Amino acid sequence: MDRRLLDLLCCPETRQPLALMSGEELDALNRAIAAGQVQRSDGAPQTEGWREGLITADRRRAYRVDDGIPVLLAEEGIATAQVAGLA
């Protein structure tokens, strides 16, 4: 993801700055998704793993990135408290 774009992005709910998730964070999230333990903010289960993601400065919310495009929809965000190793 382009660093200039990343510097402009913020969480749609809290307005906190966002950072790219590390490989370890993505691995933890994808393990939880595979185990069926992750729900999006709208209550729907997250069934597909992420290749790339953004996380808020306080590490409480995460958003996926699809093909380099951040999906910053509040209802599709994930509360990281659901994922061991993220919260």
3-state SS class at 37: coil
| pLDDT above 70 for 78 | yes
Total residue length of the chain: 87
pTM of the model: 0.92
| Structure confidence at residue 52 (pLDDT) | 96
| Structure confidence at residue 5 (pLDDT) | 75
87, part of any domain: no
CB of 87 closer than 8 Å to CB of 80: yes
Total structural domains within the chain: 1
17, part of any domain: yes
| Structure confidence at residue 87 (pLDDT) | 65
Distances (CA, A) of 41 to 2, 23, 45, 60: 26, 23, 9, 12
Is residue 49 very low, low, confident or very high in pLDDT (cuts 50, 70, 90)?
Answer: very high
Q: Which domain holds residue 12?
A: 3-82
